[in-house]
Amino acid sequence: MKPKRSEKMFKRASKNLVGAVNSPARAFGAVGGKPLFIKQAKGSKITDVDGNEYIDFVLSYGPMILGHGHLYVQRQVRKALKHGYSFGATSAPEIKLAKMICGVFPGMEKIRFVNSGTEAVLSALRLARAYTGKTKIIKFSGCYHGHVDALLVAAGSGLATLSLPGSAGVPESSVQGTLIAHYNDLDSVKAHFETHDDIAGVIIEPIAGNMGVVVPQDNFMKDLQSYVSSQSALLIADEVMSGFRAHYGGTQELLGVQADITCLGKVIGGGFPVGAYGARAEIMDKVAPLGDVYQAGTFSGNPISMSAGIATLRALKRQNPFDTFNETAKTLEDALKQSARRYKVDIAINRYGSMITPFFTKGSVSNFQHAQAADTQRYARFFWAMINNGIFLPPSQFEAWFLSSALTKTDIAKTINAIDIAMQEVARI
């Protein structure tokens, strides 16, 4: 790999972009070295400014489920562009995409489009508080819900830990109403309800992806829904990442649960900026202009994003690649485990649908504390070895790998070969 142009662009970008990036996840800080700058992408591949080509398992952190530059999506976007870029008024694509999404999320009768997952979450929290007349929110350590002040919270030890701001600039007053629970631990949720009588809702990633992939165990999600409902609070499912990733629709249906409010993003925009939150009508009718919960946005329901989302979901439904995703993820899991055994490297693999994460740690990973025990130095060594062998991975141990339907058998064979080479590098630490 020759990153000369990327290094030059890093110097140029550093002058006017904070840290040379527009999102910390792109900075490669967790793996060391300078970030790669990307020139183009097509299908399952992404190419940097030096001309190095990689099989892409980042996929813009999830949206590119069909691969890059899908022809049908491109055609539909070009058609939409001919009619204009933004109207500041409602248009047909908003109606179509809303109907498509509500039709596959049981219990979702109405939806409001916004511009990002973060915006969807902050709007959902406001709505939950207004609907219940309560103020506090429970979140789970390790689940990331965007850079909302109230949810940028670092949890300490114990089931009823006091909330502390997890970012400079977030005042303690912003997080005083946020309580921390532990993923896969219903008792940690119950402890808060037993102490507080003003909890409006519980927000969770049904399939966690922002501490690496972590899945619910032993009917955790079903038991959580039942308990939250019994406490007259709302369950908020953050499916910004997991939506349409294991099933055409939400992960909730596969888990046998139905959240009161669902947050979406990524796949439903086909690679364009988008977010959404939806619920049954009696909840959503609290939102302006029907109700007194104010939320607005100039670019909400942007016709280009809506058209890209419609095309992506149509193509995804036709392809129905979810069985193939499961098979491919299982193949990668087996390759990672076999290679790790061969070179005596401790590893745990979590996967769900088209999301997978290898943790360099002993034992299983079922919560944030387990994930934090992973050896990040080993992941960094693995990451760079994979990069050098043409595989583009998330530059952090605590991010999910994503699969696209554009992956070929040749891509998978090359990835498996790279895994074996990279695992040898890891074993040298």
Enumerate the active-site residues: 144, 238, 266
For the chain, the helix, strand and coil percentages under 3-state DSSP, each to the nearest 5: 40, 15, 40
Q: What is the 3-state secondary structure (H, E, C) of 238-290?
A: ECCCCCCCCCCCCHHHHHCCCCCEEEEEHHHHCCCCCEEEEECHHHHCCECCC
Residues 373-381: contacts with CB within 8 Å, 24+ apart? 374/212, 374/398, 375/346, 375/429, 376/30, 377/429, 378/345, 378/426, 378/429, 379/30, 379/31, 380/30, 380/31, 380/32, 381/422, 381/425, 381/426, 381/428, 381/429
Distances (CA, A) of 267 to 225, 242, 404: 25, 9, 11
Tell me if 235 sits within 8 A of 177, measured CB to CB: no
Give the span between the Cα atoms of 265 and 289, in whole angstroms.
23
Give the span between the Cα atoms of 19 and 24, in whole angstroms.
8
Tell me if 30 sits within 8 A of 384, measured CB to CB: no
Tell me if 105 sits within 8 A of 251, measured CB to CB: no
- Dihedral, 100, 106, 107, 108 alpha carbons, nearest 10: -20
